[in-house]
Amino acid sequence: MSRFRLAPLARHDLDALWNYIGIEKDSPTAASRLLETLYDKFRLLAANPLMGQYREDLADLVKDIRSFSVGNYVIYYQPALDGVRIGRVIHGARDVRTALQDQ
């Protein structure tokens, strides 16, 4: 069975995303909907690990890294034997190299 695993930084990203949209922007319904959509995409990627774009430009930072866009956010992940490992979920406007160096 295919599954996804969230890295600690990915969990932090999701918490921060919900807090920003749900609390700071006072839209908990929108925040919850976005997280539901992201979790749906995590399951989709787990079943189809090569679906996203291979990121050769980031391979010096993270081996076998791929990306998959969901609205304004980008999921950065690595295929695994039993699915995928979600490394980060960050806004598309952020500097991805800096974010991935935190891993």
Per residue of the chain (103 residues), give pLDDT as tens: 799 999 999 999 999 999 999 999 999 999 999 999 999 999 999 999 999 999 999 999 999 999 999 999 999 999 999 999 999 999 999 999 999 986 6
Q: Give the C-alpha separation, 46 to 26, whole Å.
A: 32
For residue 101, report the phi and psi dihedrals to the nearest 5 degrees.
-65, -20
Q: How many CB atoms lie within 10 A of CB 82?
A: 13
pLDDT at position 25 is 93
| Nearest alpha carbon to residue 83 among 48, 51, 52, 56 | 48
What is the number of structural domains in the chain?
A: 1
Confidence (pTM)? 0.95
CATH code of the domain containing 34: 3.30.2310.20
Residues 9, 27, 37, 96, CA torsion sign:
negative
Q: Which domain range does residue 49 map to?
A: 3-101
10 and 87 in contact (C-beta within 8 Å)?
A: yes
pLDDT at position 1 is 75
